[in-house]
Structure 1
Amino acid sequence: MSHLRTVLSPAPSSPTPRGPSTRASRRRRRVATTAAGVLTLALVVSGCASPASSSGSASSSSFGTASVALSWIKNYEFAGYYFAEDDGDYTDAGFDKVDLIAGGGNTNSWDLVLGGQAQIGLASDLTGITGAINDGAGLKIIGAQFVKNPVGFVSLAKNPIRTVADLKGKRIGVDAGGKLAVEAVLKANDLPADTVEFVSVPNGVDPLMNGEVDALIGFLTNYPIAVKNAGGDVVTMSFADANYAQFGDAVVVSDKELAENREELKAIMKASIEGWNSALSKGTDAIADIAMKHGGADNGLDRQLQVDSASVLPSFMLTPDTVKNGIFTLTPDLIDQAVSSLAAAGITADPSMFDTSLLQEVYAENPDLIPGFTVPAS
């Protein structure tokens, strides 16, 4: 769902935001968490122990190359994986290196997983991945980076979408994936498909600012920032507030990998968790810097927009459950809520599409991966 993503380009003209829609270690130079790094990200880390002492699940022989298919271009959204690469977490876990495969094209991350080009893929939301599983794809959802989905409607105060009732008659700018998601929202609220008018638009907020559409579907981590920077008075309504509870960047693996290469998957997830613990502890400036290093030149990223977008990451990643159980983890209640939401939208889903046991094992074997974050103030 490329329209929900953001390139976060510099703007004289309005920036391009993010839209919805393969596989001797260096010791980690992980700095002990400091109050300054934590305050920068507006969250508190108490007693954040270094994961260097964690007992990994890797064997003595190398796993080869770890491969993670991202759901969008390389920007702030995937900072944890960059930290894990740069700090040596993947090599410490038993891999020679990691291949972080940028998304944003016409291929879904789970197609790369099914094709063997990636061991783990990130799916923007559950609409597409559950559809693929229903079509017979041998895939499982093992967790989610954003347990609170940051996708929603982005409009202007002069013609706002604040509630579901406000959708009637609105022109919604979408790409193919965004159209699917909005149709699901309409079904979840017993609204006919012609409640809104769909308009195919390119990436960026120009169509909204120019009056071509009344709203865009975007990541609420950055689309509102892009609209504000373009001079707009922004109004947002999340999909969750529109009775469509979802996860963002759901972690997807193949049934084959789960059965045959479980220890490898655990090693990848352990390293990725270590990287995200570092990212959330070091703060927005560190996230922006590493995003610029890994994706700035290729994607025309604007550093200040990376900083601003990174500042809200904790709000979508850290909940009472993930603070207690570890990031990426999904509770049975959360899965049931997502399944019910999908069902209300006419999408067949079942808890059997999820397998939370792998992350449970990772955290049971490495309890120091839960560093003591606190839930950000709402």
Structure 2
Amino acid sequence: MKLTRTARAAGRRPARSRALLTTAAVTAAALLLAACGGGSSGSSSSTGPTKLTFQASWVNDAEFTGYFVGLDKGYYTKAGLDVDYVKGGPNVIPESTLISNKADIALTSPDTTINAIVDQDAPLVIVGTQYQRNPLGVVSLTSSGIKSPADLVGRTVAVPDVNKLAFEAMLKINKVDPKAVKVVPYAYDPTPLIKGEVDATVDFTTNVPFTIEQAGQKASSFLMYDYGYKIPNDTVVVTKDFLAEHRAEVKAFLQASQEGWTENLKDPTVYPPTFMSSYFKGNGRTEANEVYFNKAQKPLIESDAGIFSMTPQTVQETIDTLGLVGIKATPAMFDTTLLSD
């Protein structure tokens, strides 16, 4: 598939990227890759575990700690799986790795995946979500007094190009005229905010406030999710064919991942330090940053319905929200039953 990438917050590192699929004829390229071979297909033997390739959405950091705990503690092995974890990065498009058979399971953003399904008939299905509440939010200095969308009137907000429609939709949901807010480009560097050149940025609330505080300022933030832009993130995605042929293995993967995240979130300060010389090595973050990230994401991952679960209500909220930015999703693009079978 031919893809363009959307960017996610990165703090002090290069802009974080996610796929935003265009209306180009991209399926043929992916099928060609698949025909030439490609990595994985849920293979197993009569005496060994099922091999699965899991594509992460970004380079190794605290965002994926639960999976690392699952690998280290043998939760996947206990579930009969041999999981090959593949880190992501700015040039990795998770949907493409699935369609080209280079991965069996991937973490994506629901907007990119559903855009692929709608525009290109990509054979993908969302089976769960890591973040029940999307970490994307509005970050400001506490001294600015910005606590809600209403406080953005008359302010200057730095917004990534890929998030402009979402930001405008969030303003409209909260009856704020988008023309009353000055929007400027954002390069995933909070320096302009720290220097007072802008009043706020649209960024990941799990990480960027730490960078601001390290610069000697106090940060405040609110989630766009909490103000009506209700889409999850790090959705767990497989192809329809893989799900049909390996439903039990996908369910086992989700359950083992639940164990890893449950163990990790018992005390978010415990595991990041143990991974600094292994999974987190070379990612440019400090131990304190990884602990901050892990603690900040805890309330965004945990859910009364269970980690990774998507209820009919949350699916409908996702569908309704994506409709605000012109992405037409349907319930058929989700399978919420694996963790309730």
Q: TM-score, normalised by structure 1?
A: 0.73
| Aligned equivalents of 2:260, 2:321: Cα separation in 1 | 31
1:4 equivalent to 2:9? Answer yes
Deviation at 1:270, TM superposition (A): 2.7
The equivalent of 1:367 in structure 2 is: none
Deviation at 1:295, TM superposition (A): 3.7
Change (3 A) 1:319 1:92: closer
Amino acid at match of 2:339: L
The equivalent of 2:330 in structure 1 is: 350
Give the counterpart of 2:255 among 238, 262, 270: 270
Give the counterpart of 2:287 among 298, 303, 328: 303
Amino acid at match of 2:9: L
Change (3 A) 1:151 1:291: farther
- Give yes or no for contact 1:5–1:72 (8 Å, CA) kept in 2: no
The equivalent of 1:241 in structure 2 is: 226
Give the counterpart of 1:130 among 98, 103, 114: 114
The equivalent of 1:255 in structure 2 is: 240
1:334 equivalent to 2:320? Answer no
1:215 equivalent to 2:195? Answer no
Deviation at 1:355, TM superposition (A): 0.4
1:99 equivalent to 2:84? Answer yes
The equivalent of 1:360 in structure 2 is: 340
Q: Percent identity?
A: 34
Amino acid at match of 1:77: E
| Aligned equivalents of 2:240, 2:155: Cα separation in 1 | 41
Structure 2 residues not aligned, in runs of 5+: 1-5, 19-38
| Aligned equivalents of 2:169, 2:195: Cα separation in 1 | 27
The equivalent of 1:65 in structure 2 is: 51
Amino acid at match of 1:257: F
Deviation at 1:306, TM superposition (A): 1.2
Q: TM-score, normalised by structure 2?
A: 0.80
Deviation at 1:17, TM superposition (A): 9.4
Question: How many aligned residue pairs are there?
Answer: 312
Aligned pairs for 1:17-56 within 5 A = 21=18, 23=40
- Give yes or no for contact 1:188–1:342 (8 Å, CA) kept in 2: no
Amino acid at match of 1:248: N
Amino acid at match of 1:338: T
The equivalent of 1:157 in structure 2 is: 142
| Aligned equivalents of 1:193, 1:3: Cα separation in 2 | 22
The equivalent of 1:226 in structure 2 is: 211
Q: Secondary structure at the match of 2:327?
A: coil
Deviation at 1:331, TM superposition (A): 1.1
- Give yes or no for contact 2:13–2:284 (8 Å, CA) kept in 1: no
The equivalent of 1:318 in structure 2 is: 302
Q: Aligned Cα RMSD in Å?
A: 2.8
| Aligned equivalents of 1:144, 1:71: Cα separation in 2 | 13
Bigger mean CA deviation after superposition, 137-146 or 102-111:
102-111
1:75 equivalent to 2:55? Answer no
| Aligned equivalents of 2:163, 2:58: Cα separation in 1 | 14
The equivalent of 2:271 in structure 1 is: 287
Structure 1 residues not aligned, in runs of 5+: 7-14, 24-57, 362-378
Amino acid at match of 1:339: I
| Aligned equivalents of 1:198, 1:116: Cα separation in 2 | 40
Change (3 A) 1:340 1:288: same
Listed one character per residue, the Cα deviations across residues 254-298 of structure 1 (whole Å, up to 9, x for unaligned) are 1121112222322322322222222123x2232212442444322
| Aligned equivalents of 1:120, 1:150: Cα separation in 2 | 22
Listed one character per residue, the Cα deviations across residues 148-167 of structure 1 (whole Å, up to 9, x for unaligned) are 22220101234454322333
- Give yes or no for contact 1:18–1:222 (8 Å, CA) kept in 2: no
Change (3 A) 1:156 1:67: same
| Aligned equivalents of 1:359, 1:17: Cα separation in 2 | 35
Deviation at 1:20, TM superposition (A): 7.6
Listed one character per residue, the Cα deviations across residues 308-342 of structure 1 (whole Å, up to 9, x for unaligned) are 221233211223222xxxx1111111212222222
Change (3 A) 1:272 1:233: same
Deviation at 1:247, TM superposition (A): 0.8
